[in-house]
Amino acid sequence: MLTAEQEAIRELARDFTDSEIVPHAAAWDRAGSFDRGVLARLGELGFLGMLVPERYGGLELDVPTYLVALEELARGDAALALTVAIQNGPVPAILLAHGSEAQKSRWLPDLASGAKIAGFALSEAQAGSDPAAMTTTAAGDAGGWTLHGAKRWVTNGASADLMLVFARTGEDDRGKPATGAFLVDTASPGYHAGRREKTMGLRASETVSVELDAVEAGGDRLIGDPGHGLRQALEALDLGRLGIGAQAVGIARAALEHAVRYAHDRRQFGRAIASFGGVRSKLATMAARVAAARALVMEGARAWEALEGARVRNARDGVSAPVSGDVTGSGQLPVTARSAMAKLVASETATWAAEEAVRIFGGYGFMREYPVEKLMRDAKGTEIYEGTSEILRLVIGRSLKPREAAVGTP
Ligand SMILES: Cc1cc2nc3c(=O)[nH]c(=O)nc-3n(C[C@H](O)[C@H](O)[C@H](O)COP(=O)(O)OP(=O)(O)OC[C@H]3O[C@@H](n4cnc5c(N)ncnc54)[C@H](O)[C@@H]3O)c2cc1C
């Protein structure tokens, strides 16, 4: 059941998707880029600052409502939705949770309006699933920092205006690598976007390497503690993964909707193929799995909201202890595990549902002028970025404890 606000946002997102995304998605995929104007229009509607508080120019929605909108946009084009997910998710979340008031007032309004498009540069050639192995460095202090290194597979690495770059700042008191999160202008001298990757799917999304050759970032570009960047990134991935979960549900739903329409139109043996038990059963399972994936994403979103609420209360009451992921204290799975579950199930559902749609389309499913092969290519990406399925299983597995330990009840 959606709230009245969620219904209203969904309608806005649905109309936008049907009129401004669906008619262009195939052409964007062929061209390898979407028109930047569509981002400007998304910004005008508030869709680039859905979680940003109103005082910074955002819509100040809660996470479940944001994900309702993101699913709709992803149903139209997952490549565009990936940019929307990054713009709404990890970058503003880190600023809001760890940025100074000056940083929030300076950057959040431009992110929310789309005046500045942001990226998130964590992965490196030898540090993907294991970002702690990153070798990019930031040398300096409160007066300013100099960044050296290279990032890999950065979404919008060339066209973003602002890049959140994670870099090693030294070692912490236990001799472990310390990491900082830096807001870098992509126009800075020494910021070089490299070759654009040729990707299997999400072809309209720009995936590039980025080289940082003595890039200067002022002291005001470090967000929070110079030793807490990785922690901030992993915390933000809890939200990011819910966004990718919603993106995957959008792809799975598009597969289902195309398959239902086609199965009612296509006739074989004198009947619509939807009347055959084998096809109807596929459609039924697709519908059930899409609904199950969405429910898991929404449950993760509600858990994230509860965790955020606890963090905000702690900040207000001056409690410095970090808030455990298990906000209920009742032995429920922590938020990190819930968000990992949501992304795992939704992304694997998207891949599976897109493949079923290709089967239902028969020979046409294999043809590029029909929409379902693109969904199959796009879905695969959701199983990789912001945590591969194997890593998500590790995260979930780690949270499962015997009942007497009072954590990890699914
Ligand atoms: C389209 C696209 C967009 C992306 N956008 C961004 C972006 O904007 N910013 C960014 O920072 N990164 C981005 N990435 C990078 C992405 O996050 C990484 O590709 C991902 O985290 C996996 O890292 P890797 O490719 O190095 O694989 P690896 O970590 O090398 O993994 C290779 C294989 O080993 C498995 N594996 C690794 N460790 C374990 C383990 N402990 N147990 C079991 N299996 C394991 C993995 O699951 C995988 O199957 C993007 C990637 C893609 C494809």
pLDDT at 308: 75
pLDDT at 333: 77
Residue 312: pLDDT over 70: no
More confident residue, 2 or 361: 361
Cα–ligand 1 centroid distance for 338 (angstroms):
20
Q: Is 127 in the pocket of ligand 1 (CB under 6 A)?
A: no
Pocket of ligand 1, candidates 80, 94, 123: which has the most ligand atoms within 8 Å of its Cβ, to mutate?
A: 123
Overall average pLDDT of the 183-196 stretch: 96
pLDDT at 172: 81
Whether 197 is a known active-site residue: answer no
Nearest-angstrom CA–CA distance, 312 and 291: 31
> pLDDT confidence of 267, banded at 50, 70, 90?
very high
Write out pLDDT tens, residues 363-394: 999 999 999 999 999 999 999 999 999 999 99
Ligand 1 atom having least distance to the Cα of 387: 21
Overall average pLDDT of the 197-212 stretch: 97
Q: Is 171 in the pocket of ligand 1 (CB under 6 A)?
A: no
Q: Is 207 in the pocket of ligand 1 (CB under 6 A)?
A: yes
Please state which of the four CATH numbers 2.40.110.10, 3.40.50.970, 1.10.10.10, 1.10.260.40 is assigned to the domain occupying 118-223. 2.40.110.10
Ligand 1 atom having least distance to the Cα of 386: 17
Report domain 229-405's class: mainly alpha
Is residue 19 a contact partner of residue 195, using CB atoms and an 8 Å limit?
no
Q: Is 212 in the pocket of ligand 1 (CB under 6 A)?
A: no
> pLDDT confidence of 272, banded at 50, 70, 90?
very high
CA distances to 297, 390, 396, 402 from 250, rounded to whole Å, are 12, 22, 23, 35
pLDDT at 256: 98
Q: Is 42 in the pocket of ligand 1 (CB under 6 A)?
A: no
* CA 214, 215, 221, 226 torsion-angle sign: negative
More confident residue, 160 or 309: 160
Is residue 357 a contact partner of residue 374, using CB atoms and an 8 Å limit?
no
Lowest mean pLDDT among 4-18, 170-184, 323-337: 323-337
pLDDT at 331: 56
Tally of residues, the chain: 410
Among 260, 227, 249, 243, smallest CA distance to 350 is for: 249
- pTM (2 decimals)? 0.95
Q: Is 123 in the pocket of ligand 1 (CB under 6 A)?
A: yes
Domain ranges across the chain: 4-113, 118-223, 229-405
> pLDDT confidence of 41, banded at 50, 70, 90?
very high
Q: Chain-centre distance of CA 214, in angstroms?
A: 29
Is residue 21 a contact partner of residue 38, using CB atoms and an 8 Å limit?
yes
Pocket of ligand 1, candidates 232, 348, 384: which has the most ligand atoms within 8 Å of its Cβ, to mutate?
A: 384
Q: What is the DSSP string of 224-250?
A: S-TTBHHHHHHHHHHHHHHHHHHHHHH
> pLDDT confidence of 401, banded at 50, 70, 90?
confident
Residue 320: pLDDT over 90: no
Overall average pLDDT of the 5-25 stretch: 97
Report helix, strand or coil for 119. Answer: strand
Parallel, antiparallel, or unpaired: how do β-strands 267-268 and 271-272 relate? antiparallel
Residue 257: pLDDT over 90: yes
Beta bridge mates, 150: 211
Ligand 1 atom having least distance to the Cα of 131: 21
| Atom 30 of ligand 1: nearest residue by CA position | 128
Cα–ligand 1 centroid distance for 75 (angstroms):
24
Cα–ligand 1 centroid distance for 87 (angstroms):
20
Which of 197, 305, 386, 390 is flagged as catalytic? Answer: 386
Residue 405: pLDDT over 60: no
pLDDT at 402: 82
pLDDT at 64: 96
Topology of domain 4-113, CATH: Butyryl-Coa Dehydrogenase, subunit A; domain 1 (1.10.540)
Exposure string over 193-220, b if 16+ CB within 10 A, otherwise e: beeebebebbbbbbbbbbbbeebbbeee
Parallel, antiparallel, or unpaired: how do β-strands 177-185 and 118-121 relate? unpaired
Overall average pLDDT of the 66-83 stretch: 98
Enumerate long-range contacts of 266-274, CB under 8 Å, 24 or more apart.
266/362, 273/360
Q: Which residue has tokens 């990789």?
A: 384
| Atom 51 of ligand 1: nearest residue by CA position | 385
Residue 208: pLDDT over 80: yes
pLDDT at 173: 79
Write out pLDDT tens, residues 331-340: 567 899 999 9
Overall average pLDDT of the 170-196 stretch: 93
Ligand 1 atom having least distance to the Cα of 384: 20
